[in-house]
Structure 1
């Protein structure tokens, strides 16, 4: 047995039948909905309940991340958009035109996460333009989290349907 086949036995590229893929999908969406604009969402709850120092901490970390996200978007946003679009197109072509299952699996995580990235930039711009603080800031972060969770639910549903379809057809064809 050569090293090439040993490596590919260890790393199963049939993603939709691999437990690790589904664990990675769950962790990805769990993390995305917990970290809203880089702010852990428990800080929003704590600021809502306790106020005072917790509110100040939330505003400080939120504004640091808003400025950081907007700086990146303004300085290299066009390049990141072009590179991201190129990579998503490559994954989509490899996955759905050439039937590379690993590319399909990565695309089904990366595409919705790119939508979450655009949502974060949009929310950061809204927070900056409103000068949001206090209740308005918590409202914006909560709404961003809700939309992220909605994107995640649709993504997990579509991914699971596609994964079942691929597993059924591979089982029949393979």
Structure 2
């Protein structure tokens, strides 16, 4: 699933023309049509119902709803975001009340820290805060969905290419 990007500010400043809204409608339709299908998105390793990817879609669809209050897309986007979040809550909430990577993988992924940043949930959301606490407690061994297809690889600070390193 791919999250779509548009903001109320883009709409207020007249940055979204009919071509943009057509693209937004296509993205929203793709999210609605494929929301129950496992996928690997851009960064994930295998086709699964990745929690962080699904919550990214919630954030994107909520942004569309906020940007489109006077368009026919607004109310359906709000309903879709609510339905997506409900599905994630039912399938990806660990018994300890934190988000887990997928419905069948109870581990915490550092990508699960992003829902509050992206606007899927308030930053104070207890599930996201619990995932953050769990990830911090396991920091040396917390993995990301992009780390490895078959093993948990400890997180490592990315190497800065020499062209980007300061002098």
Q: Same fold (TM over 0.5)?
A: no
| Higher RCO structure (Cα 8 Å, ≥6 apart) | 1
Question: Greater helix percent: which structure?
Answer: 1
Give me the TM-score of the superposition, normalised by structure 2. 0.33
